[in-house]
Structure 1
Amino acid sequence: MHRELPDFDMPNDEQVHLAAETFRMLADPTRIRVLWALLQGESSVACLAELAQATPTSVSQHLAKLRLAGLVQGRREGTFVYYSAATHHVKDLLAQALYHADHLDQDARIGA
């Protein structure tokens, strides 16, 4: 039925796998806080830990996973590493997720 639609297009297996991996990486409140902070600008682990209300060790572990997933990147300056969001797509994705969450919350408050 759907395949008969003129503009019907399914993503390929690789796209589906990578999208699922991205959502899996975002399925943690600390990672969302860290990413949101990084969307405001480059930051160190210590600053991110404060903003995310987590320990530096925990934030470092989350950053390592986010970096492997291609969502953040690091820049070394001497003994410090400064992190930033990898691409503008990260901002779009996270902004949409938070926008959706805000609307779910609003719907719940009004009993929709």
Structure 2
Amino acid sequence: MAPRDGTPDATGAHQRTPGARELNAAARVFALLADPTRLHLVWLLSRAESDVSALAETVGAARPAVSQHLAKLRLGGLVESRKEGRRVVYSLPDGHMKRLVVEAISHADHQVTGEPWHD
């Protein structure tokens, strides 16, 4: 049987029932990702780190708007930034966000294309 003490099982999932603090923190993550532009930005950052100009061009939004979205994501702890000369480069801090966004997009792809669900 899987441990119930919060240690990860073979899939890496924590088995402890989440408390109010974990549920509220997770809800804040989903609230930040509920905006399509922010979700697109995080998906792009799951592929590779990038700067505001490249991200703005890829998502088709103005630099100031992308900067505001990235600021919200950074304040929410979903993305990190670092300076490289005059550029600010954004990245995802951990694999959890990468997996979450990839799974959300994969789920949406099945809904949109009608492909059958799988485990």
Q: TM-score, normalised on structure 1?
A: 0.83
Distance 2:104 2:73 in 1: 17
What letter is aligned with 1:103? H
| Alpha-carbon distance, 1:85 to partner | 1.1
Q: What is the TM-score with the length of structure 2 in the denominator?
A: 0.79
1:27 corresponds in structure 2 to 34
Structure 1 unaligned spans of 5+: 1-6
The equivalent residue for 1:70 is 77
Instruction: Tell me the SS of whatever aligns to 1:63.
Output: helix
Aligned match of 1:98: 105
* Runs of at least 4 residues off by over 6 Å: none
In 2, the alpha carbon distance for the partners of 1:17 and 1:29 equals: 21
| Number of matched pairs | 103
1:81 aligns to what? 88
Equivalent-residue separation in structure 1 for 2:17 and 2:110 (angstroms): 27
Aligned residues: CA RMSD: 1.9
The sequence identity of aligned pairs, in percent, is 45
Correspondence for 2:43 among 36, 41, 59: 36
Larger radius of gyration: 1
Residue 68 of structure 1 deviates from its aligned partner by 1.1
